Copies of this chain bind each other. A is one copy, B any other.
Amino acid sequence: MTTTAPVSPPEAPVARRRLTGPRLARMRDLALVPAIIVLVLVGALIDPVFLSSANITNVLQQQTELSLLVLAEAIILIGGRFDLSLESTVGLAPALAVALVIPAASNGIGTEWASYLAIPLCLLVGLAVGAFNGLLILRFGLSAFIVTLGMLIVLRGLQIGITGGQNLFELPMSVLYLGNAVWLGLPASIWICGILFAIGIAVLGFFRHGRAVYAIGGNRDAARAAGIRVDRVMWTVFIVGGLLAALAGLLMTGRLGSVAAAQGDGMIFTVFAAAVIGGVSMEGGKGTLFGALCGVIVLGLINNILTLAGVSAQWIQAIYGLIILVALMLARLTTGKAQD
């Protein structure tokens, strides 16, 4: 005995009311915008100084080095890898470059190379570190976490070894320039970051090699099958990461007027926080540089507001952490998606 249900007319297929992919992804990108708006409002209420162009410029300039590291880390994370050693490169690259250039009397190594070499040397160190990380991780198949953690320690150790733990403050003019110059009324470092982020967003959004990074992070085997030279692309990414970290070190050196022995120390946590708050996934293949930039700005605003509000030193850290957690929940609520 069989039964037949009334045939429903061959109507249109079940409506697909779900948001389509890119739209959702874009939403996720903008997840932090409400948080930023809330922060700006709160800041303006707390102290009118907050909205002054001088203050905004300061906030932006203070975040430039962090933002370059976040740019580097975000690209590496999107490619499904990891680099902890960036924070040490921020210190070592300028320290080594400067030490090679300045006289021994100012804590240099004694080589006293021509001082115009400082910037190229600094970038070269960053490049070399990135390339070496890439070599160990990609060729020898070592864990990225552990290689770069080891490198984090080794590079910091090298810097202390080379400088004897001294700050270097007799800097060549070229090194000081970038961190201090003002172009068209804005600090040069803001321009540089802006331009690099624009390039990064364009490359990752609109160019084959940039998209390849997403593909690799999303599914390495599939990327390989699609003809992407996975190792070559990732090696480039590590090298770019090292270069960006060296550049960040250069900007920081210029801005602060010396290479501190602890320059960059402890930054990597903040770098990850900004990237992940900005929607870049630790699992690879997900997130955008725009989101990461929003993450950087959120952290910068929180810091600035806490300072302006004069929160007591005793509770400032707890409040800072709490605000980050709340910003995240906000982001979660607005996108409605679980994070990972």
User: Which positions in A face B, CB cutoff 8 Å?
Assistant: 136, 140-143, 145-147, 149-158, 160-161, 164-165, 266, 269, 272-273, 276-277, 281-282, 313-322, 324-325, 328-329, 332, 337-340
The answer to whether B340 touches A154 (Cβ under 8 A) is no
Query: Which residues of B have CB within 8 Å of A155?
Result: 321
The answer to whether A319 touches B157 (Cβ under 8 A) is yes
Complex CA–CA separation, A112 to B141 (angstroms)? 55
Chief secondary structure at chain A's binding surface? helix
Query: Which residues of B have CB within 8 Å of A313?
Result: 165
The answer to whether B146 touches A277 (Cβ under 8 A) is yes
Query: Which residues of B have CB within 8 Å of A145?
Result: 272, 276, 282
Residue ID in chain B nearest A295 by CB atoms: B146
Distance (whole angstroms) from the CB of A235 to the closest CB of chain B: 16
Residue ID in chain B nearest A265 by CB atoms: B266
Contact among B153, B154, B281, B322 with A154 in the assembled complex (CB-CB below 8 Å): B322
Complex CA–CA separation, A157 to B324 (angstroms)? 13
The answer to whether A329 touches B142 (Cβ under 8 A) is yes
Complex CA–CA separation, A161 to B325 (angstroms)? 18
The answer to whether B157 touches A328 (Cβ under 8 A) is no
Complex CA–CA separation, A317 to B160 (angstroms)? 8
Complex CA–CA separation, A58 to B197 (angstroms)? 51
Complex CA–CA separation, A313 to B318 (angstroms)? 34
The answer to whether B338 touches A141 (Cβ under 8 A) is yes
The answer to whether A325 touches B150 (Cβ under 8 A) is yes
The answer to whether B332 touches A149 (Cβ under 8 A) is no
Residue ID in chain B nearest A84 by CB atoms: B269
The answer to whether A318 touches B272 (Cβ under 8 A) is no
Contact among B147, B164, B266, B269 with A314 in the assembled complex (CB-CB below 8 Å): B164
The answer to whether B314 touches A160 (Cβ under 8 A) is yes
Distance (whole angstroms) from the CB of A224 to the closest CB of chain B: 14
Distance (whole angstroms) from the CB of A231 to the closest CB of chain B: 12
The answer to whether A340 touches B156 (Cβ under 8 A) is no
The answer to whether B325 touches A147 (Cβ under 8 A) is yes
A136, A315, A318 interface centre (most CB from chain B within 10 Å): A318
Distance (whole angstroms) from the CB of A280 to the closest CB of chain B: 10
Query: Which residues of B have CB within 8 Å of A319?
Result: 157
Complex CA–CA separation, A269 to B329 (angstroms)? 26
Contact among B141, B161, B324, B337 with A318 in the assembled complex (CB-CB below 8 Å): B161
Complex CA–CA separation, A282 to B84 (angstroms)? 14
The answer to whether B328 touches A146 (Cβ under 8 A) is yes
Residue ID in chain B nearest A319 by CB atoms: B157
The answer to whether B141 touches A332 (Cβ under 8 A) is yes
Given A272-B145, A329-B142, do A153 and B324 touch, yes or no (CB 8 Å)? yes
The 5 A-B pairs at the shortest CB distance, nearest first, are namely A157-B318, A153-B321, A141-B338, A157-B317, A154-B321
Complex CA–CA separation, A323 to B334 (angstroms)? 47
The answer to whether B157 touches A339 (Cβ under 8 A) is no
